Amino acid sequence: MRMSRYFLPVLKETPREAQIVSHRLMLQAGLIKQASAGIYSWLPMGYKVLERLSRIVHEEQARAGHLAMLMPTIQSADLWRESGRYDAYGDEMLRIKDRGGREMLFTPTAEELVTDIFRSHVSSYKDLPLTLYQIQWKFRDETRPRFGVMRGREFLMKDGYNFDLTAEDALHSYNRHLVTYLRTYERMGLQAIPMRADSGPIGGEDTHEFLVLAETGESEVFYDSEITDLTFGDRDIDFDDKAACAAVLAEFTSRYARTDETHDEAVFAEVPEARRRTARGIEVGQIFYFGTKYSDAMGATVQGPDGKPTAVHMGSHGIGVSRLLGAIIEAHHDGKGIIWPEGVTPFHAGIVNLRQGDAETDAACEDLYAQLRKAGLDPLYDDRDERAGAKFGTMDLIGLPWRITVGPRGLKSGVVELTSRRTGESVEVSPADAVARLVAVYDGI
């Protein structure tokens, strides 16, 4: 993309409404624009990151055999009455009457609707296990929306639902989700720690929240410092292997890690003092096992191997996709702006032309731009007629992980400058070498 043809409305002033750094940077870097309280438009670069995050979520869910689908945002109140949640949900549910006077709502989550789909179409245990998920916009009518997309009213969520014959099978689904979530967050450059949590309005017996440590997190968290040494990495897990998935759960949840909602001072005191940590965390996902709560209420049964109707065991599993943008920026920024992890960056590299209009420099930039695209990369070329300082400032603010600076002086010696946004370190290399290095960096990402 050429900057001259892009819509990147970078703000010069600091937006006054932003109380936390991710909100401020998302506004300043032109990623979002508030439409109403807690409701945002995603400008082209913000939308691009949102799409990258969604793609990572899809890829990791597909790896585990979970099936993507999509449920509508506007749902009938009747279905929510079957579970008892229409009355129980409270004012956070956006309630609507259509022109025929029918009571509808904007979905805050979709246990009822997915259970209705299940009971309409699945009748035998032979069709289990089944996990359906969607990435869809949700609405929760918060009293005090704040912190930008971190606590918005309209937000993008991945919500997945498993249907299993037995509690044991459902717990395997739970573990499988935990594994997919660990991989998902790591690919996004985040360390998200699974912590024992409270089930809230969804209800449930087993539940973990995934928290990213950040000063601006809304939850106080307590954990054994050993847990931050764990990484999932690129393990080749067989998602059908119950023991393998259970071992991952054990590895990542055996150490103390809880939010203030479930914190237990007595248990925490058993952790050696040097390893006890208190910090703040941002919730970026949650997994639940809730047994037959919805299947009992809504009659979601299958014929079991014994021929008898059996209520299915269910769980639901969520990732806050739009909120993740905020969490990633909270975890990856400095005084100059955002520092995107390579896995989620909107563009792979920025090209800064130090002397726009100079024929040789322009040609070198054009060639570099073409070579990067030919190599399958997606560069952003700052081809504006601006001074170098302004171009550097924009690149630092929007946080592309790599910058290639092209100027007449370097070109005389056949080099351009390749700079890491994270470390600030630069190397002078030939244009071809810069392309090769970036190809290597992004290989497999």
Find the radius of gyration of the CA atoms of the chain: 24
Name which position in 17, 59, 87, 98 contacts a second copy (CB under 8 A). 98
Site stretch for a second copy (CB under 8 A), options 130-138, 188-196, 421-429, 435-443: 130-138
Cα distance between residue 245 and residue 247, in whole Å: 5
Name which position in 55, 74, 231, 427 contacts a second copy (CB under 8 A). 74
How do beta strands 67-68 and 130-139 pair?
A: parallel
How many whole angstroms from its chain centre is CA 369? 29
Site stretch for a second copy (CB under 8 A), options 81-89, 90-98, 219-227, 296-304: 90-98
Cα distance between residue 110 and residue 266, in whole Å: 37
Distance (Å) of CA 166 to CA 61, 114, 301, 442 = 22, 18, 12, 42
| Phi, psi for residue 418 in degrees, rounded to 5 | -110, 120
Show the tokens assigned to 133. Answer: 């998920």
> Which class for 101: exposed (0-12), middle (13-18), buried (19 or more C-beta within 10 A)?
exposed
Least distance to a second copy from the beta carbon of 399, Å? Answer: 19
Angle between helices 44-63 and 167-187 (to 10 degrees): 140
How do beta strands 32-36 and 39-42 pair?
A: antiparallel
Segment 153-212, which members bind a second copy (CB under 8 A)? 153-154
- Cα dihedral value 85, 90, 93, 95, nearest 10: 90
Name which position in 70, 267, 390, 445 contacts a second copy (CB under 8 A). 70
Segment 317-376, which members bind a second copy (CB under 8 A)? none
Distance (Å) of CA 439 to CA 104, 339, 416, 418, 432 = 50, 19, 16, 13, 11
Least distance to a second copy from the beta carbon of 410, Å? Answer: 29
Helices (H), 83-200: 85-88, 111-121, 167-187
Angle between helices 21-28 and 321-331 (to 10 degrees): 100
Kindly report the number of other CB atoms within 10 A of residue 263's CB atom. Answer: 19
End-to-end CA distance of the chain: 20
Segment 104-123, which members bind a second copy (CB under 8 A)? 104, 106, 113, 116-117, 120-122
> Cβ closer to a second copy: 7 or 359?
7
> Cβ closer to a second copy: 123 or 426?
123
Name which position in 80, 86, 125, 139 contacts a second copy (CB under 8 A). 139
Segment 32-61, which members bind a second copy (CB under 8 A)? 33, 35-36, 39-44, 46-48, 50-51
> Cβ closer to a second copy: 85 or 153?
153
Cα distance between residue 48 and residue 33, in whole Å: 14
Binding to a second copy by CB under 8 A, coded x per residue (else -) over 272-311, reads: ----------------------------------------
Least distance to a second copy from the beta carbon of 80, Å? Answer: 12
Least distance to a second copy from the beta carbon of 111, Å? Answer: 13
Site stretch for a second copy (CB under 8 A), options 70-78, 169-177, 299-307, 408-416: 70-78
Name which position in 96, 250, 267, 427 contacts a second copy (CB under 8 A). 96
Site stretch for a second copy (CB under 8 A), options 27-35, 209-217, 340-348, 402-410: 27-35
Least distance to a second copy from the beta carbon of 59, Å? Answer: 13
> Cβ closer to a second copy: 154 or 383?
154
Q: What are the residues binding a second copy (CB under 8 A)?
A: 5-7, 9, 30, 33, 35-36, 39-44, 46-48, 50-51, 65, 67-76, 79, 91-92, 94, 96, 98-99, 102, 104, 106, 113, 116-117, 120-122, 127, 130, 132, 134, 137, 139, 141, 143, 153-154
